[in-house]
Amino acid sequence: MDTEVDGRKLKTVPPFFRVIPCVMLERNDAQVYFKQDIKLKELDEYIDRKAKEGIKLSYMNIIYAAIVRIIAERPYLNRFAMNGSLYARNQIFVL
């Protein structure tokens, strides 16, 4: 079967990406941990401006919006491996 409920099977995959499901066998093998300092002054000013317009925002609202935008602009980030095959998700899910 070439399709899954959550995505479609990719037919043409670069060799490097064909190897990844064989190397990363567990779900947590793909986790990446990093630390980054982010200056929040401009973000705080944006939240304050929106609050004056009656729109209540939090850091999490902005982080979720940024993640959705990044995945929409770079669909190759919205893929998953199953049974040695690579699939492209049909939708962007935010839970």
Helix, strand, or coil here: 79?
A: strand
Residue 6: closest CA among 95, 80, 84: 80
Q: Is the pLDDT at 1 greater than 80, yes or no?
A: no
Evaluate whether residue 39 is within a structural domain. yes
Q: pLDDT confidence of 4, banded at 50, 70, 90?
A: low
- pTM of the entire structure? 0.72
Q: What is the mean pLDDT of residues 81-93?
A: 87
Evaluate whether residue 30 is within a structural domain. yes
Max avg pLDDT among 18-27, 28-37, 67-76, 81-90: 67-76
Q: How many domains does the structure of the chain reveal? A: 1
Q: Please give the DSSP secondary-structure letter assigned to residue 39.
A: -
User: How many angstroms separate the CA atoms of 11 and 85, rounded?
Assistant: 9
Domain that holds residue 84: 7-89
